[in-house]
A = this chain, B = another copy of it.
């Protein structure tokens, strides 16, 4: 029942057997990319042998990579049973969103205080790029940029510890949307991001933080509402009660 899917992306330039931390990094990156690209559903088993064939990495490198992924919350390791893509319960999804709001609220405030002209230029250029992707219908790119936007805010705030947390949380995001009806990932609208940048540019960290929190809550409630159709959720549905099944 778990998953008819198999992870079998060919990543290696043929004949290249990478070694060491490089191979490990490659395995991690491949799995993360597949998750972000919404190509592996939660529950998919990650067999060491398959990963080895696909990536050309040694078994120990794969093992280390899986360990790192497990600590990032992206895969689950059960003893003697191996690794599989993590399955997020609706409750966990709520926790991830709450954590993002907590941390990004802080980074938004910090960034508003320290923002330089260069930061502002970079953010506005980023928003433009995001808009172009949307308008050109390049949804894959738009999704990527949309995630990258939140990470960029954290990076510019200048706290690597918080940035690391945000990265992990963002990477988990696609796993949450697999519960929705059409299995299509939700992503942020460009307008919301534009408003946040405007608030930051005006030095209003409080407003930027508030907008960002509302933005994330909306994203969560869309997810929750869709999930409400497929799951007989009792208590969890309370948060998404206001927005019935409006999807596209």
User: Is A165 an interface position by the 8 A CB rule?
Assistant: yes
What CA separation (Å) do A76 and B150 show in the bound complex? Answer: 28
Q: Do B106 and A98 have beta carbons less than 8 Å apart?
A: yes
* A67-B64, A68-B67, A165-B165 known; A106-B102 Cβ under 8 A: yes
Q: Could you say how many copies of this chain the assembly holds?
A: 2
Q: Are B103 and A102 in contact (CB under 8 A)?
A: yes
Query: Contact partner of A99 among B20, B71, B92, B161, CB < 8 A?
Result: B161
Question: Number of contact residues on A: which range applies?
Answer: 20 to 34
| Residues of chain B with a CB closer than 8 A to A71's CB | 68, 71-72
Q: Which of A72, A102, A103 has the most CB of B within 10 A?
A: A102
Task: Label chain A's interface by main secondary structure.
Answer: helix
- Which of B20, B64, B99, B101 sits near A165, CB closer than 8 Å? B99
Q: Identify the closest chain B residue to A72 (Cβ).
A: B71
Report A147-161 CB contacts with B as 1/0, cut-off 8 Å.
000000000000111
Query: What would 17 more interface pairs be, CB under 8 Å, given A95-B160, A96-B161, A102-B106?
Result: A20-B79, A67-B67, A68-B71, A71-B71, A71-B72, A95-B161, A98-B106, A98-B161, A99-B162, A101-B106, A102-B102, A102-B103, A102-B105, A103-B103, A105-B106, A161-B169, A165-B165
A-B contact pairs, 5 of them (CB 8 A): A21-B79, A71-B72, A96-B161, A99-B159, A102-B103
